[in-house]
Amino acid sequence: NAGVTQTPKFQVLKTGQSMTLQCAQDMNHEYMSWYRQDPGMGLRLIHYSVGAGITDQGEVPNGYNVSRSTTEDFPLRLLSAAPSQTSVYFCASSSGFTGFNEQFFGPGTRLTVL
Nearest to 50 by CA among 59, 38, 58: 58
The yes or no reply on residue 92 touching another protein (CB under 8 A) is yes
What are the backbone angles phi and psi of residue 85, rounded to the nearest 5°?
A: -95, 5
DSSP 68-89: -SSSSB--EEESS--GGG-EEE
The yes or no reply on residue 97 touching another protein (CB under 8 A) is yes
Spatial distance between the Cα atoms of 19 and 13, rounded to a whole number of angstroms: 8
Helix segments in 1-114, DSSP class H: none
The yes or no reply on residue 103 touching another protein (CB under 8 A) is yes
**19, 52, 82, 88: residue in contact with another protein (rule CB under 8 A):** 88
Taking the least distance from each CB to another protein, the nearer of 5 and 17 is 5
Tell me the per-residue interface mask from 40 to 79 with another protein, x by CB under 8 A, - otherwise: xxxxxx--x-------x-xx--------------------
Taking the least distance from each CB to another protein, the nearer of 83 and 97 is 97
The yes or no reply on residue 89 touching another protein (CB under 8 A) is no
**Pairing state between β 43-51 and 31-37:** antiparallel
* Interface with another protein (CB under 8 A): 31, 33, 40-45, 48, 56, 58-59, 88, 90, 92, 97-100, 102-103, 105, 107-108
